[in-house]
Amino acid sequence: MKRLFFITLLVMNSAEARSLKATADKLASETTRIGLGLALFGIGLAAIYFMIGKQDAGMKLNHALFGSFVLLLSPAILSFIKGLV
């Protein structure tokens, strides 16, 4: 049973993730996708807070927008930092 599981893992391993750098790049792209979903959820939640009249709605919207801008600019930020080294 253990051999079958190990063979299945070997067969299902994609060719893209054979090196550490490719694995890190793939993880970064998935993390960016999840982050964008969470950013949209945060902006929607802040909009709902605005509609119901909560006092801290402006601050929540500000944080959600700032977080989404940082997430969208993260590739540019990383390339800038790599250019410094």
The closest alpha carbon to 45, from 67, 29, 28, belongs to 67
Domain ranges of the chain: 19-84
Using CA atoms, how far apart are residues 76 and 51, in angstroms rounded to an integer? 34
pTM of the prediction?
Answer: 0.61
- At 17, the amino acid letter reads A
**23-60 pLDDT per residue, tens:** 777 877 788 888 888 999 999 999 999 999 999 999 99
Grade residue 22 by pLDDT with cuts at 50, 70 and 90: confident
The more confidently predicted of residues 42 and 19 is: 42
Mean of the per-residue pLDDT values for the chain? 81
**What pLDDT does 4 receive?**
62
Cα separation, 36 vs 42, whole angstroms? 10
CB-CB neighbours of 28 under 10 Å: 13
